[in-house]
Structure 1
Amino acid sequence: MIVDIRKWKHVFKLDPDRDLTDETLDRLCQSGTDAIMVGGSTGVTFENTVDLLSRIRQYEVPCVLEISNQEAVVPGFDLFLIPVVLNADDPLYIVGHHHEALKEYGSMLNWDEVVAEGYIILNKEATAAKLTSARTDLDAKDVAAYARMADKLFRMPIVYMEYSGTFGDMELVRRTRQVVDHARLFYGGGIDSLDKAREAAEVADTIVVGNIIYSDLEKALQTVNLDRTGR
């Protein structure tokens, strides 16, 4: 399947380490979302990732793997997203794990299926922030600098503003989008209603909806109902 991330407005993110019934998965995959992203900060294994992929593959929706653990890399996804946490104080999450993975798998990769994400983690309470020792006390200039670094210096296709667990500062997201010329600006965090989905979609190119899936499926499904015009 040919996948064009530049057309995505809405993505559901599923965690292989969390339970999901077949009925729930069916409704998510046939909701009209642009893609299903598979990934999580902890508890992701080869086994639970293979299991989730095999279930999603019954549907035609694009399915991508966000790699947080090289032991859980599973072939068969349409794309492989590689997070580079730009504001991590632990260099393992900037180049360290990536270096180790490429030593092992670099010669085998199909680079047309690999997409780098310039992550900016902004919620200090998020598991990902604690895991990566992310420096989250950033002002607008700090965030803009990281976004320019990903977009213009490193030419990453995705700049990802991550507020996992809370709804972020939409004015900051809007200002950040203004300095991004080439990359797609993804936003994730705290989208638990259609109103928040629309608010985030007004300032970001692509919104990622995750946690609400596991607590209120109906509200999660409502977030797909976006105005599909724009960048």
Structure 2
Amino acid sequence: MISLFEEGAMQIDWDEVTHVTKVDPAKPLPTDLEVLSGTDLVLVGGSDDVTEANTLETINLLQAAHPDKLVFQEPYSAAHVSSATVERADAVAVPAVYNGDRDHFVGKHVDLFTEIGEQPAELLGATLPLVGRFVESKGRDVVAELAANLVGEGYVVQHLESAAADRAGVDTTYTPEQVAGAALATETFYGFPIFYVEYSGTYGGPEDVDAAARYLEETKLFYGGGIDSAEKATEILEAGADAIVVGDCFHDDPETFQATIPN
């Protein structure tokens, strides 16, 4: 997985990203997608009832409504990724859940690259010139092409009763000290561009954000969970988060969602 700090990687001005919307392909979208005009980045992904088909449909709808908006796919399974989603999304964000089980830290990444190596045509599209070079390159070119669009996310899930925790095999939360350690590892060891503290529908407050922020310089700190007001958004950003991630109220209450977008 490539770091977006490296020369030649996809370039994103992360300093311009302060509000992120997480869109669940298995949930209905608001009738008026103009509500997204103030967000900086959209992550498409979810835990339950998500498929490659509804992921692709959602990406297409979002890009049709906002062609200049960054739209990333954030898959919870390699089965959600296809040649079509890779082609349509601006990037594929791949979580590495530090406090999850092995399958959701190392295992899922090995599975993803195993599929690339064994079935490049199925993943990237048999008509692509890239696939024609697969025999000679033994998959290196295919991996390089996909890796250029992969964004690694160091991830800590802090709500044990959430679907995200269940899917990732999370059975314990981290202390603020452990969150700080995970943040430090994300930047100095893994080189991921994003460190994500996820409270999955509950509001965790600024403590974890404050603990992590002091150790991050290049890696961007995302916080998600329970942000349903301007006051909570401000509290998290002032604690040191580079961006807040808002999901539930986007689907459930677009008016409240708009209040979370910083002025």
- TM-score when normalising by structure 1: 0.90
The one-letter amino acid of 2:104's match is Y
Give the C-alpha shift of residue 209 in structure 1.
0.5
Does 2:29 match 1:20? Answer: yes
Aligned mates of 2:11, 2:180 — CA distance in 1: 31
Q: Specify the alignment match of 1:229 in structure 2.
A: none
- Which residue pairs with 1:212 in the alignment? 249
Q: Is the 8 A contact 2:186 2:192 kept in 1?
A: yes
Gaps of 5+ in 2: 1-9, 118-138
Partner Cα distance (1:36, 1:192) in 2: 17
SS in 2 for 1:81: strand
Q: Is the 8 A contact 1:3 1:79 kept in 2?
A: no
Aligned twin of 1:93? 104
Cα deviations by residue, 1:173-220 (Å, 9 ceiling, x for unpaired)? 112111223210110000011111111111211110000112211010
Higher helix share: 2
Alignment partner of 1:141 is 2:149? no
Is 2:140 the counterpart of 1:104? no
Find the partner of 1:122 among 148, 152, 158.
Answer: 158
Q: Is the 8 A contact 1:87 1:146 kept in 2?
A: no
Counterpart code for 1:72: H
User: Helix, strand or coil for the counterpart of 1:18?
Assistant: coil
* Equivalence for 1:175: 211
CA contact (8 A) 2:198 2:223 kept: yes
Moved over 2 A (4+): 1-7, 106-112, 135-138
Which stretch shows the higher mean deviation, 44-53 or 104-113? Answer: 104-113
Post-superposition Cα deviations, 1:40-67, rounded to whole Å, max 9, x if no partner, equal 1222101101111111111121111112
CA–CA separation in structure 2 for the residues paired with 1:137 and 1:158: 19
- The separation in 2 between residues aligned to 1:163 and 1:153, in whole angstroms, is 24
Taking the aligned partners of 2:176 and 2:261, their CA distance within structure 1 comes to 29
Q: Which has the higher contact order (CA 8 A, sep 6+)?
A: 2
Distance in 2 of aligned mates of 1:8 and 1:225: 11
Contact 2:179 2:211 in 1 (8 A): no
The separation in 1 between residues aligned to 2:113 and 2:40, in whole angstroms, is 29
Unaligned runs of 5+ in 1: 227-231
Q: State the percentage of identical aligned residues.
A: 35
* Alignment CA distance shift 1:114-1:49 (3 Å): same
The alpha carbon displacement at 1:96 in A equals 0.6
Q: 1:153-192 alignment to 2 at 5 Å?
A: 153-192=189-228
Which residue of 47, 60, 80 corresponds with 1:72?
80
Whole-angstrom CA distance in 1 between matches of 2:43 and 2:18: 13
Q: CA deviation at 1:35?
A: 1.2
**Could you tell me the TM-score, scaled by structure 2's length?**
0.79
Counterpart in 2 of 1:34?
40
Q: Counterpart of 2:63?
A: 57
Deviation at 1:2, TM superposition (A): 5.6
